[in-house]
Structure 1
Amino acid sequence: MTTLEDVRRIGAAGLVAQIRERDMPAFGRTVASIGVLTGDDKASASSLAAIILQDAALTTKVLKLANSVYFNPARAHISTVSRALVVLGFDVIASIAVSLMLIDALLSGGLRERVVGEMGRAFHAAVQARTLAVLHGEANPEEVFISALLARVGEMAFWCFGDEAAQSLDTALATGVKPEVAESEVLGFRLRQISVGLAREWRLGSLLVNTLERGESGGDRESSVILAQQFAVAVESGWGSPQARQAIAKMARHTGRPESELTAVLLENAAAAVKTAATYGAVDAARMIPVPEAQAEVQAIEPEEVSGPDPLLQLKILRDLSMLLGGRPSLNDILTLALEGIFRGIGMDRALFALVSADRKKLVGRAALGHGATAFCQAFQFVLDASPGELINAVIVNQQALIIRTAFETPLRLDRLIRAGGMTPCMLAPIVIQGRAIGLFYADRVSGGEISEDDGLGFFHFAQQAALGFEHVMSRVSRP
């Protein structure tokens, strides 16, 4: 329990540390991982895809947003995270994933009415800010959207995790005291300071930090965020209120558009904000957005059934793999899509790819999805010693694809695989290029579920398509 006395003693910096270390440690670690990727020009899309695919609910929501009119106006159908990264880009998908995880975390408790109110305001401001950026001719309006969406992250986190201190501030605000006055008197600091601290801690983007620290003086993009925030607050007093008219006038000057023309756009945006919030899974927040006349439809994301193979998804991913071969894919593009097909399409608990070393003496895990994927990938290392009767050697040396349902049904020794964290039932398929095995795909069901013949056919099909893709890339590279 965080008491008011504790909060006054530790201040904004202490509260930021508490949120990071006690209240949202898992979120912080995941966001840090994504932050490292977005800050690395050499980071592969497969690394980001792997982070998203570990969480089935997150995968569902990312794909839902990737197919929405808001992020995908051309309505190019996207079935996989891998395809979403290609169509929308690395940074957009990373931002969507971070936002989704943050919203899920902040809807978990606390003073829910305050949290939901802040969140509804944030979605409204985000949609309006993106439009202001577009009308002003700013580059990367999606970054403006995300910055506006997360601009009050400290306020939302405080209402979620502030305990007694949040209750005390809520009581003070209920008397009609201005927020800036109540925050300083009750807490001894402004909630905005928490937003700045969390934006820096979680590396939520330079635009967001500049907006929080410099406001409209930071530049035109920062102004788009600030003006949209002011408007989202003002319109809660009514679309025809003096506050709303004043906010619209400022936005009109910022964009150079007539107020009447801009007002019509803002009205459409409010309805779009309702749908966007619902698509993010924040249905209660969507209902808080003021929309005149008929309310926009509020429809929650239906939970995805993740209960085994999905033949239709398998076909879509195999089609995407075939389409990749028509262009100039990288080995990572092919690998990421094939692993996603095995993991999501066939419905395996884990999917892994391992590569034979250049001297052909070792097999080393390179990428994995699913339960404990990172640790499993690191442990998946084997010396290729050609010893007879051992599973890994049989797959690589003999180029033998296998389905192993129980340890008792095969004469091969499984001891090395089991020590590395593998288990039955499992499937293995070598990737053979020009007569040589360069690696293998492995998949298993940690839950102990059976592997059917159809599962095996699908697995081997993905391995074959990946092999064709690898050969295509390697032949292209080897051409003079």
Structure 2
Amino acid sequence: MGQCVEIVKNLSGSGATADIHEIAGIILKDISLTTRVLQIANSIEYNRSGKRIVTVSQAIMVLGLAPIRSIAYSILLLEQLPNHAQAEHIRNACLMSVMGGSLARMIAEKAKLEDPEQGFITAAFTQLGKILLATFLPAEQRDMIRMVREEGKTEEEASKLVLGLRMEQLGKQIGEFLNLPTSVTSYMDPFNVSDRDLPQIDRKLLQVTMLTHRACRAVACAKSVAEMEEALRSLSQFKESGINGLDLARGFRNVVQEIGKFYAVRPSGEFWSKAMLLCQSDGKGIAQAPVPEPSASRTPDLQVFQDGVLMATEMMSGDEINLNQLLSVIAETIYLGFKARNVVVAVKDLEQGGAIAAQAAYGLHAVQLRESFVVRPELDAGLLTGMALLNGKDIAIDNAQETHILEHLPTWIATTEPAAFLLLPIMQGEVPVGLLYIDGPLLDASSKAPPEVQRELKIIRKEIVLALRLTGHS
């Protein structure tokens, strides 16, 4: 986070007065950051001149200071997260920051703000408190999550009870302590602007920041697509910005595509999963009544599976295989292909005594399943997860809420209340080395995927087996 703060502090001067070489020097301190900035700066979306950009100084001169600042901030948050015990929660908070910033930039452009990139920074930094909480106060964060899930508290109520203040207040206080520019800190608690900040507040920028923050919170707190759309539709009453709920839904879809295209990581986590679910709905329920969950008559998207298999194959062809990235790609492929509610890719974890444990998860309960999905076949022989692994047979359930099924489900699956699900064991010969779990509305009508999708799933399982063998995990 320190580099992010340094970039925002030092890159917040005006383009006319800032020393380009000094600014370039900040980015050049990190060679990987430099490389990625140049790669993105040369993309057609950013560089419309057609002239190849070969230095950071040139990138600043061609694109301007503000876009480079936003690109660098996004790269640092999305691609250079440490291997931290809280990585999943930190990643979730960082994604919310970058997605909120990107959404604000799009809204600012539509609202014809003079500097849309400033919208990126002000909206992104409203999430600083959430990032700090996940990074430095894990016990407090766990208490807050428990209050929200088990006691029905809002995030704001839980924050006040545990921290004594709202997360936006925490972020702003730390931002001021770090001497972030007032052009940033003035907007970091957008719903409680102080009298001291009022003289320099751009009212329209404040409205965009508030709207984006509310939209991200709506998606993060929703429990279904319909609930997300209802929340975003209610924001269409927020007339000052000239943006409606449909604009927000479209904006989220564009942001998901932008992040998926530009950044070298495969995003994951609960917030990202919910944003993708919203994208799949295409915002059709925003302008009218809430749309129902996807119907069982819809079929899996074969093209998504084929593209995902191709990508996984390409990842396997390199000199080194990044197992975590590969499994994340596979999980995302299944998630999007089935338009699933939850997907888990679990493989043998040597650190847990060879138990089959979640390594990648997408969906409404991604964080919960990622933390709790562990199967020990012999000990779990009475549960469906254990049966699938011990017998090496696929299990398809389309009546998951019936008592005789619930009795044979692990608690951590039962509490997510699936209507239908698949358990697909990953076998190396006769030995189980992994398990795919998929639940969602497309599984309600049929206990099996279409034959062509089944073929792709077989290929996926074979690739996982090969990857585990090549990386020494089996």
Q: TM-score, normalised to structure 2's length?
A: 0.49
Q: TM-score, normalised to structure 1's length?
A: 0.48
Does 1 or 2 have the higher relative contact order (CA < 8 Å, sep 6+)?
Answer: 1
